[in-house]
Every structure is written in structure tokens, then in C-alpha cells.
Amino acid sequence: MRVPKLTRSIRQLSSHVLAIFLGVVLTFTTLRVLPSEAEPAPKATAANPPELLTQRQSPASAAIGSSSFVTAAVNRVGPAVVRIDTERTITRRNDPFFEDPFFRQFFGDGFSQQPSREQLRGLGSGFILDKSGLVLTNAHVVDKADRVTVRLKDGRTFDGKVQGIDEVTDLAVVKINAGNDLPVAPLGSSSNVQVGDWAIAVGNPLGFDNTVTLGIVSTLKRSSAQVGITDKRLEFIQTDAAINPGNSGGPLLNGTGEVIGINTAIRADAMGIGFAIPIDKAKAIAEQLQRTGKVAHPYLGVQMVSLTPELAKQNNTDPNSPIQIPEVNGVLVMRVVPNSPAASAGIRRGDVIVQIDGQAITTAEQLQNVVENSRLGQVLQLKVQRGNQTQQLSVRTAELQNAS
């Protein structure tokens, strides 16, 4: 028996209505499953101060209330966050083609032009370290600037003098003369930071002054090599708090409004991934920049990569491979810088460093940290695997003159 089209349509409509009804019931049922008052309250920790627990337990009540923990944190440090504007004049040379004698012989000097001058402007952030007017920011914000202008949140503007720059850690100290009534950013400790802690970024992204973004600490000790900044010696705090151009040099705060990092880098190919220099590292560098205007970094003079037996085996089974590599865990030397401490010590391309001063070395980041924490002129004892032989080499560290 054929079912009339009208009847089928009614049945289909009934089915849709029933599905929608069940969906509504399920939706309301889901929305009702909220934390009850009988559930245990979160414990107070450094990341969850007692005064913030009520707000974190109920985001709705925090929104309805007069302020949130983010508001309290920003109010605590906000006045000490500054905007940094820079100006730099560069001279562009003429195209050498127009200066070619053969060209000028036929066309004369009519095409000759004076070198052009161009003024470049930059924008960044920073924060005040003490009442005397010391401002901490990124080196790339003020590097090679002819003029630095520091603008406070209250609208006051001052000329800034760069007291010191360290390209290796991308940190700089700027001095402003503004009396002794300046607000100061409270500094925390990055050693107490844990993955999952609140992260609040404050700065001037894209020129939008006094911007605040909220996220969490995504991971810790993300190496500069992993980030893609191979000329730096840093282990970053990674966060998903939105960081954009102009945030550079601004503070990354914890939930209580203490500075735990300096916002520094982003990945152009990613969203929700930003990086900050840990404040403990920044404090140590800032002290040296205040005293001497620079920071001395020891170096060996090798370009290197982490090596595993699996990677070495892949290389060795490749008939086009130029060298055979020991199939061990260690750090493979890809290049030795001429006239460097490594070159003087006899380190060669293809060597695998497996120990320093008796400490096993398995990654390039680990080796870099050992060298960075050594003293200038200190002799390091390296155990090197060269082919089937083991070599013991002594390397005396020297000062890194140019970060590039």
C-alpha cells in the first residue's frame, strides 16, 4: 500500500519536531550540570591566592562583581607599563648601474641622483624597573635607534637614553629623567611559574596603547632554537595570551600582577603561540647592563645539532652522505668557526661531543647552556667521538663579540 505524500510529510515533520524537542531537553540538561556548592573548593596556592579563589570558582560572579583578578593585576602594574617610540634615519645608495662609467659616457650625469635618506619609525613596550627611571625592554625595540621616546600611561613623555643592549638575550635598559615619583612594576620569580598558570600580557600591540590579553602558560623552557631564533641563548615561557607586534618588551604577568616575563616573540605561522623571556634571566642581565652597558657571553665557536643513533644511522646508510657519523647520543659539530676557541682546540666538523667536564651531553641546547653558564677563559674538558675513536680535548672559552 502506498503512503500518500501528505502523510509522509506529516510523519517527517513530526520526526523533526521530536528531534528538536529532544535536542532542547538535552541542551537544558547539559546547561544545568554546573558545579554545586557541595563540591570541594579549590586549595589556595601561589597560583591561586585566597583573595582570588572566589572569582576563579565562578566566572559569572566575577563578571557581575566590581572587578576580576585580571583587573586587580593590571591595576597593580599598569601605571608602570610604557610605550616606546623610536626613530632611525637610514641612507639608501643609488643603484650602482647608474654610476657605471660606461653608462655615464653615453647618457651623461642626467640620471645621477643623490643618496636618499629615509626615516624609519618603530614601536614597542617596556616597564619601569625602579623609581630612578630605568626601563626594561627588548633589544630589538631600541637597537640602532637615533631617538627613543618613552610615554607613560598618564600621558607624560620623556626622551630615553639607551644605557645598554644585549643582543644575545634580546634585552635592553633605557633611562628616563622623570624625578623619583615613577610607578614601579612588581617583579615576581619565573622559577615559581608552572604550566597552566594564568598569563596576562600588557603592552601596546599595533599601536593600541594599554592593551591587555589573558591566557595561560603553555609550556616552559622552550629553547630559542625550537622557536626559530637561532642567534639567541634563551629558554622562553610559552603562552597563548595574544601577543602582537608592539607587545615586544612589555610585561607578562601572573595572576597576582607580578612580572614573570618580557614578551618578546611570536610565530608568524601560528596563532595562540607567543614567547616571553623569564624574569629571573632578565633581572640578571638588567643588572649587568646597568653596571657596564653590556654583557659578556662565553662561546666555543661551533655550529651544532642534536644527534641520536637513529639519525646517525640514516646518514650513514645514505650513499650520498659526505661523512660517516658515530651512531651515538650527543651533539654533532656541523661547522667550526675559523679562529675560534673550538678551532684552536682541534675540534673538527663531524665530531660528536658526548661529555663536558664529565657531564653527559645529549642535546645542542644542553651544551649551549653549559657554555653560557661557564666563565670567560674557563677551560672545558670535552669528550669527543671522532669516527671509531674517542678524543679528549680542552677548550678555553672566549668572549662572543657579535651575536650574528
For residue 300, which phi and psi values (nearest 5 degrees)?
-105, -40
Q: Would you say 122 and 57 are in contact if contact means Cβ atoms under 8 Å apart?
A: no
Q: What is the CA radius of gyration of the chain?
A: 29
Q: Would you say 211 and 203 are in contact if contact means Cβ atoms under 8 Å apart?
A: yes
**Cell reading at 333:** 659539530
- Report the alpha-carbon distance of residue 254 to residue 201 in Å, rounded: 9
Q: Would you say 103 and 66 are in contact if contact means Cβ atoms under 8 Å apart?
A: no
Q: Where are the alpha helices (DSSP H) in 223-320?
A: 224-227, 279-292, 309-316
Look up 170 and say whether it is catalytic: yes
Q: Would you say 119 and 87 are in contact if contact means Cβ atoms under 8 Å apart?
A: yes
**Cell reading at 272:** 595562540
Residue 68, classed as helix, strand or coil, is coil
170, 197, 297, 351: the catalytic one is 170
Look up 297 and say whether it is catalytic: no
The four Cα atoms 294, 299, 305, 306 give a dihedral, to 10 degrees, of -100
**Cell reading at 141:** 625595540
- Report the alpha-carbon distance of residue 26 to residue 3 in Å, rounded: 32
140, 218, 297, 351: the catalytic one is 140
125, 218, 223, 248: the catalytic one is 248
Q: Would you say 165 and 143 are in contact if contact means Cβ atoms under 8 Å apart?
A: yes
Look up 140 and say whether it is catalytic: yes
Question: Would you name the residues annotated as active-site residues?
Answer: 140, 170, 248
